[in-house]
Structure 1
């Protein structure tokens, strides 16, 4: 039932940004003054390969949200290119865009914001298939995805307010999986959850990468959480990628000041999620 997508080019990134710059115009300081601009992303290179889990970490205001919007096609960059499977998503026909939309899905920080409180979960799960005009056995696909995220079929008849935060995030992940994506972008998916529930959601994401061959882009401000889930991490600061490396290398030998600050914010690596991952 999964939507057909192009076969990834072996050895090449599946989703990538090359020399992406994004600027926004600001209000004029005076009536006849020059309109100033703000550079939020400055010549960014970022990519994820088939079946790879990569992290993007940075403090608030570093540009992570804008990068996410461009990586998912919600914004067009002022300069640079975004490629899916080797093709520029902004330089093609409608079929290329539809393939990209089906193939790249996002899970947001607050699952309640992506679920209509008046809509039963079963109807919410069908929405991506309807909006993307994906045909097939929708009921079978719903049951398949519920199994993948560890939810029972009884969830389909319930409403969002009947679930805990962790269950809602599983539902949000299930909704993102419905079109059969190749890339899952998780934007701060556990920052609003209790630590014990965080571990469950992080383990689910790791299982999805391993079992489904998904590519995962995990975006967060907490280096320990990103390290638990990914094998390669990019550190952002002031709109730039300032360091890229394996999680353990970033913990032990941070080079950039922004990375050292993130490591310093983790009081005890051994007692947190990162301690379990990096031991």
Structure 2
């Protein structure tokens, strides 16, 4: 279970973005978090992905309470969560070729020997050809780069996947393709998915249940 309990988080002392938010995602479940831009959804997603320490509250992964964040979190917990951000150009190193973008987590965790086979497997799954893998981010479209970022999020076979506005900048066909990849991975692995967005139609079609941000924060 991924459990966020009474979480308060922000970026300035005593000025939280939100207070006392609780949310759970079960293994194998896809939960949509629906709300307008700027309400705090992405901050909650970063807490769930172990990328932002909350001011208060707890995050529990598979029965283990998280006590360290970012590089201070134990590797077992860090690698249990994959994350895909809204803007791929801000989350991919512009110096790397796409094959190295995908392989980056394997190399960071000392698993270089798995890189070639795993990158080839995921490239086929997300729709990246060999010529695209040889290009750098500025040489591909947003959709092609987001395909690489999704592959990177899946490369360590995470038990949890956080998709923070993953398709917000993409056309309908690319959106459908990437959601299909996530759903295939969920069916195969039993991973839980937290999908953050503001597109009600997409989230309600994609997810097992959709939660309104206002319901979490006591809004109308």
The question of a shared fold, defined as TM-score above 0.5 by the shorter chain, is answered with yes
Is 1:166–1:201's contact at 8 Å kept on the other side of the alignment? no
Q: State the shift of 1:172 in Å.
A: 0.7
The match for 2:192 is 215
Q: State the shift of 1:195 in Å.
A: 2.6
1:21 aligns with 2:21: no
Note the residue ranges of structure 2 that are not aligned, 5 or more in a row: none
1:241 aligns with 2:216: yes
Quick check: 132-141 or 41-50, which moved more? 132-141
Q: State the shift of 1:64 in Å.
A: 0.6
Distance, in Å, in 2 between the alignment partners of 1:78 and 1:191 is 28
Q: Structure 2 matches for 1:107-118, cutoff 5 A?
A: 107-118=84-95
Distance, in Å, in 1 between the alignment partners of 2:72 and 2:62 is 14
Is 1:134–1:179's contact at 8 Å kept on the other side of the alignment? no
The match for 1:131 is 108
Note the residue ranges of structure 1 that are not aligned, 5 or more in a row: 1-12, 27-36, 244-255, 258-279
Distance, in Å, in 2 between the alignment partners of 1:127 and 1:106 is 14
Distance, in Å, in 2 between the alignment partners of 1:66 and 1:72 is 10
1:43 aligns with 2:20: yes
1:65 aligns with 2:42: yes
Extract structure 1 runs of 4+ deviating beyond 3 A.
23-26
Is 1:103–1:182's contact at 8 Å kept on the other side of the alignment? yes
SS of the residue 2:89 aligns to: helix
Q: Which structure ranks higher in relative contact order (CA pairs < 8 Å, sequence separation ≥ 6)?
A: 2
Distance, in Å, in 2 between the alignment partners of 1:169 and 1:70 is 21
Residue deviations 1:173-221 (CA, integer Å, cap 9, x gap): 0011111211111100111112333222222322222233322110001
SS of the residue 2:185 aligns to: helix
Is 1:22–1:39's contact at 8 Å kept on the other side of the alignment? yes
SS of the residue 1:137 aligns to: helix
TM-score by length of 2: 0.88
Could you tell me which of 152, 164, 167 is aligned with 1:187?
A: 164
RMSD of equivalent CA atoms: 2.4
Aligned length, in residue pairs: 219
SS of the residue 1:228 aligns to: helix
Structure of larger gyration radius: 1
Q: State the shift of 1:21 in Å.
A: 1.7
Is 2:21–2:217's contact at 8 Å kept on the other side of the alignment? no
Distance, in Å, in 2 between the alignment partners of 1:212 and 1:68 is 21
SS of the residue 2:156 aligns to: coil
